Each structure stands twice: as structure tokens, then as C-alpha cells.
Amino acid sequence: MNNFIFENKTKVYFGKGCVQEYLGCLTKKYQTIMLAYGGGSIKKNGIYDEIMTILTAQNKKVVEFSGIMSNPTYAKVMQGAELVRKEHVDMILAVGGGSVMDCCKAISLAARYEGDVWNDFWTHKGVIDFDILPLGVIVTVTGTGSEMNGGAVITNEELKIKTGRDYPACNPMFALLDPAYTFTVSKRQMASGGFDILSHIMETYFGEPNENNVSDDLSVALMKNVIKNLKIAIEDPINYNARSNLMWDATMAENRIIKLGKQTDFEVHQMEHQLGAYTNCNHGEGLAVLHPTYYRHIYQYGLSKFKQFAIEVWQISEEGKSEEQIALEGIDALEKFIHEIGLPSSLKQLGLQEDIDLKKIADSCNIIPTSYKPMTHEEIYEIFKECWK
């Protein structure tokens, strides 16, 4: 394994009733709380009322910041930062999925910084040598794992760039994870978020070193758990055990633990982010379209790992087959799973318009040097065309 330093400052409270039990205590020392959320699902499913009851019982001043969109924009971040300053907010409570959590991490930084936030923290990796605004999160949809990392993926609409940075200083102070809060998530978003989890684990697993290591062994266990429970959760939306497993799988996939001692290959995320910057497509759905084709481009450069993936994750039999055949059958099994859970399998199905400039999008993608086969912009363009179907 490669050398590493590990830190994660987020304290996690997991399980049914955790918001009722702990939120009051966790917000005790703050007076003005910005309650940030998305398009309103929390008002329909009762989560908003539950939280407001707790906060108002403590006489908190609550400043609402709603309408955080999927693929949150830099403009929305700056709007939130302005509201924080105007209302003298001393803590942000983000209630939602990756979009709300990411937007709020960026707000907590932007509200305490006078310079050019985009340039100094998203264009380049910056240095946070000041205290950012305290942030706590309540997760309502499983997928990104944003609750236990410092990552914030923000879309700059003017520049047409969607990009993420992971700053340990931006890790939430606390994360409340109640799997029952995700019962009302639609099948479509459940499949999308579930595939995002799988994608995070795969993109971590397919990276050096290839010899046996505990991070990869954990990844195999997590991938099998996601596959099993995602099928159950889609069939039976109120299956608490399946939702619990997926919720913790998502956190484990992105809390840095399975990345320790490893290189990773987040090239598909880079491609999806730029597709998102140009089309605002759904994150997990975009990943589902791209993965099998990308893997068919790189598997020969990491053949033993792709073979292991086929055998250990998809139970492909080895008998009478070459290493290459086994590896390819693993990728086929992944593609079949994507189909089974109802995710799109082409850019056309993803809703992209015929006249979209795929070359321009391909040219705007970041290249990950630690891929088994680092891409060129030409090859990314080839992959996009193959994914058009």
C-alpha cells in the first residue's frame, strides 16, 4: 500500500430517529441558523416540519435558503453567502442530498472569504487558513457521500465548468443519517444515487496498487452490498434494512477510507461533470451511460484487476475462459445491472439533443493521469460517440 495520512472530522449520527434525538443538542450553541434545502421535497414528506419543531422549540432564529438545484451553481453559492452575511448567520444546516450539501459547503467557505472564491478555491486547489462557517448536514437522499467529506462539486454556468474540490476543512461538523428519511425518494433517483455509490467504489478500486490490499477488499464488500441492496430498495421503497445499507455504503465510499494507500481513477466522473456542465444531466444517470464503454477502453491495461472484479463482484465463472473473456464478462454484467435497475444506457436516452457539440465537451474534460490508460481528449470524444447509440 502507498503511504497515507488519514483524517475525518465529521461526527456521524446514524439511524431511525437520530434527528429527533440529537439535532437540538447539536445546534444548542448557535443562535441564527440558515436552514438550506432544495426544491421542496422536505416540505412534502414532513422532514421540514420535524426540523422546524426542534429549532423553534429552542427559540432559534431560522433563516431559510431554499431552491438549491441539482448540480448547484456558483451563482447560488454566492447568493447563499450574501444571505449569511446579511442575516449574521452563525451556522448552516443543510438538509438534502449532494447538491444541497455541496452548495452549503461552498457557502460556508465563501461567506468567510473576501477574495475571488471561484478562482482561489475551485479553479485551483486553494489553502483554507481561516475558520469557515460551521456546517451540519441532514441527508435525505443517498448517493454522493458528501456528508462525510469536504468535497463540493459546483457548476460555473458562465464558464461551463462543473468541478469539485475536497477540502478537509469543509467536512461537516456533524451528519445526521436517518435511512427512513429516504423512503420518499423516487425510484429514478434511488437508482441514480445507488449507481453513483457503485461508481465511486469502482473508480477507487480500479487504481494501483493491484496487489492485495485492505482498501480493495473493503471495496469488493461494499460493491456487493450496493448491488444486492439497490435491487431490494428499488423494488420495495420502504425496506429499512436495504436503505440503511445503501446509506452507509454511500458514506463509506466517499469518506476517504477505501482510498487509503491507493491511486484512484475518477475519469468517468470528470467526463460526467462536463456533460453536466453543458446539459445539466442527472449525475448518476450520466455515470451509468459512460462506465461500460470507458471500461471497454481501458480493461486491457488493468486486466488482472478487471478479471478479479468479474469473479469477486459478479461471480463470473473462470472455467475454460481466458483472462480477457472473464474481464469482459464482468463489464457485461455491470451493463446488465445498469439496465435491470432502469438507468439509461446511451447519451440519447440521457436526453441529450442531436445537435450537442460532443467534441467541445470532450475537449473540456480533465484528464486523470492515474487511470490504467490515461485518456486523450480524442479518446474521450470517441467514447462519447460510442455512447450516443
CB of residue 319 vs ligand NZQ: minimum separation in angstroms?
37
CB of residue 240 vs ligand NZQ: minimum separation in angstroms?
14
Specify the stretch interacting with ligand NZQ by CB under 6 A; choose among 56-64, 93-101, 239-247, 316-324. 93-101
Between residue 38 and residue 67, which ones bind ligand NZQ under the rule CB under 6 A?
38-42, 45
Alpha carbons 175 and 329: distance in angstroms, whole number = 39
Specify the stretch interacting with ligand NZQ by CB under 6 A; choose among 82-90, 125-133, 181-189, 363-371. 181-189
Between residue 251 and residue 270, which ones bind ligand NZQ under the rule CB under 6 A?
254, 269
DSSP structure string for 236-300:
-TT-HHHHHHHHHHHHHHHSSGGGTT-----HHHHHHHHHHHHH---HHHHHHHHHHHHHHHHGG
User: CB-wise, 144 or 245, nearer to ligand NZQ?
Assistant: 144
User: CB-wise, 255 or 308, nearer to ligand NZQ?
Assistant: 255
Query: Is there binding between residue 196 and Zn ion (CB under 5 A)?
Result: yes
Alpha carbons 195 and 350: distance in angstroms, whole number = 15
* Dihedral angle computed from the Cα positions of residues 152, 233, 292 and 353, in that order, rounded to the nearest 10 degrees: -70
267, 343, 379 from 347: Cα distances, Å: 17, 11, 16
Specify the stretch interacting with Zn ion by CB under 5 A; choose among 44-52, 74-82, 88-96, 191-199. 191-199
Alpha carbons 381 and 274: distance in angstroms, whole number = 12
Neighbours of 119 (CB within 10 A): 10
User: CB-wise, 93 or 310, nearer to ligand NZQ?
Assistant: 93
Query: Is there binding between residue 141 and ligand NZQ (CB under 6 A)?
Result: yes
List the beta bridge partners of residue 91.
33
CA atoms within 13 A on the CB side of 78: 11
SS3 29: coil
Which of 27, 108, 144, 371: binder of ligand NZQ (CB under 6 A)? Answer: 144
- Which residues are at the interface with ligand NZQ (CB under 6 A)? 38-42, 45, 70-71, 96-100, 102, 140-141, 143-146, 149, 151-153, 164, 181-182, 184-185, 189, 193, 196, 254, 269, 283-284
Residues that bind Zn ion (CB under 5 A): 196
